[in-house]
Chains A and B, each alone.
Chain A
């Protein structure tokens, strides 16, 4: 019974966490058209920094890491997200200028590998190949949580954070900024000819998306209490791509669906299957292949994903304009409705 209980809440945690990660990559790739093949690197930065700021000073812990500030939840998470953002801006400043999509993808995947190499080899940073462990569980002290009650609480907390971030993301994607992002995605040259500073907007998009990456990563280390290089091989970026492409690029509901289908059902559910005797790891290998195949099949047969991007109808645009004075723009009787519902 307890076993099943763990399964379920672990799955719920990953559902929400990858929803957050998917929203972050979606604003970059799905909305702005930046092919960020280094995405998992930003997730890792979020995780490491969140872990390192919440751990005590490294002296005497048997681990080597920077920071060590005993910082409580949720500030540790926030620092993790902001660090990922700051790093993203730095990366974007160097690489986004005048680089074609494919060059950019090459540079970013290389960056992801180098970051991996450094974290793996440079022990004083985040304890090298062993990674960080014994990271304090969030809220455990405050709520007097035991190992048993911790899992549902963190799953719930992650759910709440995901919902809040969903609301924030909806505000952004529905705003003129979101529209400009999509204009850049569809045609950079046109966006620039319309007076949009494409580079700066791409920078903004990288900043927002990487914040989500950092938060998602921070939650991973908070959930498991540990994080090491084996958790973020460059191929992991592909899983997040699979989530958003299967679910539906440019649609937040789709991203939640994608997270459910890919991350929960395909990545984590098989992890509970018993290993095939004599073939350690075979299930994971087959699983990874399936993800690759699923993604190609989806791209071919349903490139818009399970839940396609919505057409933003003029009535919807108008409805969102709260303080509209006078008659409605499209001649339908619309009142000042507060668009409070969390929607796409």
Chain B
């Protein structure tokens, strides 16, 4: 039981990182209607830019570094979307062209990261943190802060979508782009803002992933991407709240299972859940009838 609660705690941490990244991916997908296979590399980019601010020359506070990195990745995402992805999406009506382009982008970004920072494992410069007992769980202050950030961000996304004009426009676009356009919504502006936000979430998620895992490698984002996919599909593709719920489910399942099976396979648990979902509820566990 002790073990269960310990791993449950880690599960909440993973779920937090997962929720942030899965919501970012879902936002992109909802607005532009294609999956961004370079999303994992956006995350890695966030992690390494944080590393630059935090370590080498600047030695900035880790949280400040993360925020700055998130903004940089957000801007980067907008540029990529405007300059590369959007022209391809407009030119070819079959989705798979743009999917292949994002796949190619992922290859380029990964190797850019390798070229700049090399294959060696890197660490953030943060003081060693003593674990705190929270009920039966054992968590570091960083992990607690990450969880708090995730909760705040999810609430923020909720408020954004439900109460603001921007959020309403985003939802309208996600339901039907053409209709949104004809009803006077500036779809180009909404797309840009969405990609900025989702890029920020990716950058932030990448950095906190590095922080919670304790190290960073160039491929860590790509490996995490498929856990995000699992969360997104299990939650129902295109649904923001589904993505949150999927993230919690997958995050807990992977970490708790690691208490009972070889932790090397914990990510594969996510895949098993994904397959089961596909077999028995292909539209996702928490899906409204919406996209798809």
Number of interface residues of A (CB under 8 A): 46
Stretch at the interface among A110-118, A200-208, A262-270: A110-118
A282 with B100: CB separation less than 8 A: no
Contact B226 A103 (CB under 8 A): no
Interface size range of chain B in the complex:
35 or more
CB atoms of B111 and A285 under 8 A apart = yes
Q: Are B282 and A98 in contact (CB under 8 A)?
A: yes
CA gap between A115 and B233 in the complex, in Å: 19
Instruction: Flag if B292 contacts A110 (CB, 8 Å).
Output: no
Cα A99 to Cα B274 in complex, Å, equals 13
Question: Across the two chains, which residue of chain B brings its CB closest to A234?
Answer: B222
B69 cross-chain contacts in A, Cβ below 8 A:
none
CB distance from A248 to the nearest CB of B (A): 15
- Within the assembled complex, what's the spacing in Å between the Cα atoms of A110 and B282? 16
- Smallest CB separation, A266 vs chain B (Å): 13
Q: B274 contacts A289, CB within 8 Å?
A: no
Question: Which B residues lie within 8 Å of A295 (CB)?
Answer: 100, 104
Bound Cα distance A118, B265 (Å):
7
- Which chain B positions have C-beta within 8 A of A212? none
Stretch at the interface among B15-23, B88-96, B159-167, B179-187: B88-96
Which chain A residues border B57 with CB–CB below 8 Å?
Answer: none
Main SS class of interface, A: helix
CB closest residue in chain A, given B96? A35
Q: Decide: A289 near B112, CB < 8 A? Known: A99-B278, A101-B99.
A: yes
Cβ–Cβ < 8 Å partners of B232 in chain A? 106
Q: Are A113 and B226 in contact (CB under 8 A)?
A: yes
Name which of A37, A121, A292, A296 has the most chain B CB atoms within 10 A of its CB.
A292
A215 interfacial contact with B, CB 8 Å:
no
In the bound complex, CA of A282 to CA of B118 (Å): 8
Interface membership of B103, Cβ < 8 A: yes
Smallest Cβ distance from A237 to chain B, in angstroms?
8
Taking a contact as CB atoms closer than 8 A, the residue among B103, B118, B274 that contacts A241 in the complex is B103
Nearest chain A residue, comparing its CB with the CB of B95: A101
* A117 and B104 contact, CB distance less than 8 A: no
- Which chain A positions have C-beta within 8 A of B279? 94
Q: Does B155 contact A (CB under 8 A)?
A: no
Cβ-based interface call for A317 (8 A): no
Task: Please pick, from A121, A233, A288, A299, the residue contacting B100 in the complex, using a CB distance under 8 A.
Answer: A299
**Per-position 1/0 for B47-73, Cβ under 8 A of A:** 000000000000000000000000000
B109-153 CB contacts (< 8 Å) to partner A: 110-112, 114-115, 118-119
B88 near A299 with CB under 8 A, answer yes
| Known contacts A102-B99, A107-B274, A121-B265; A289 and B292 CB within 8 A of each other | no
In whole angstroms, how far apart are the Cα atoms of A97 and B118 in the complex? Answer: 41
By beta carbon, the residue of chain A nearest B119 is A281
In the assembled complex, how far is the CB of residue B43 from the closest CB belonging to chain A, in whole angstroms? 15
Q: Which of B37, B115, B267 contacts A285 (CB 8 A)?
A: B115
Choose one: B104, B107, B233, B265; the contact of A103 (CB below 8 Å): B233
Q: Is the CB of A286 within 8 A of B265?
A: no
In contact, A292 and B119 (Cβ under 8 angstroms): no
Does B99 contact A95, Cβ atoms closer than 8 Å?
A: no
In the complex, what residue of chain B is closest to A105 when comparing beta carbons? Answer: B99
Q: Does A235 contact B (CB under 8 A)?
A: yes
Asked if A40 lies at the interface with its beta carbon under 8 angstroms from chain B, I say: no
Query: Which residues of B sit under 8 angstroms from A109, Cβ to Cβ?
Result: 37, 226, 229
Q: If A33-B96, A285-B114 touch, does A299 touch B101 (CB 8 Å cutoff)?
A: yes
| A293 interface residue (CB < 8 Å to B) | yes
Is the beta-carbon distance between A97 and B265 smaller than 8 angstroms?
A: no
> What CA separation (Å) do A286 and B279 show in the bound complex?
41
> How close is B197's CB to chain A, nearest CB, in angstroms?
21
Q: Hey, which chain B residues are within 8 Å of A122, CB to CB?
A: 265
Shortest CB–CB separation between residue A103 and chain B, in angstroms? Answer: 6
B108 within 8 Å of A by Cβ?
Answer: yes
B3 at the interface (CB under 8 A from A): no
Chain B min CB distance to A107 (Å)? 7
Q: Are B108 and A292 in contact (CB under 8 A)?
A: yes
* Set of chain A residues within 8 Å of B278, measured between Cβ atoms: 94-95, 99, 107
B114 touches A281 (CB 8 A): yes
Smallest CB-CB A-B distances: 4 pairs: A292-B108, A110-B226, A285-B111, A292-B104
Q: Can you spell out 10 A-B residue pairs with CB atoms less than 8 angstroms apart? A: A35-B96, A101-B96, A105-B96, A105-B99, A107-B229, A109-B37, A114-B268, A288-B108, A300-B88, A303-B92
Known pairs A105-B37, A109-B226, A285-B112; list 12 more (Cβ under 8 Å): A95-B278, A98-B282, A100-B292, A110-B226, A110-B274, A114-B267, A114-B271, A117-B268, A121-B264, A289-B107, A299-B101, A300-B87
Q: Which residues of A contact B (CB under 8 A)?
A: 29, 33, 35, 37, 94-95, 97-103, 105-107, 109-111, 113-114, 117-118, 121-122, 233-235, 238, 241-242, 245, 281-282, 285-286, 288-289, 291-293, 295-296, 299-300, 303
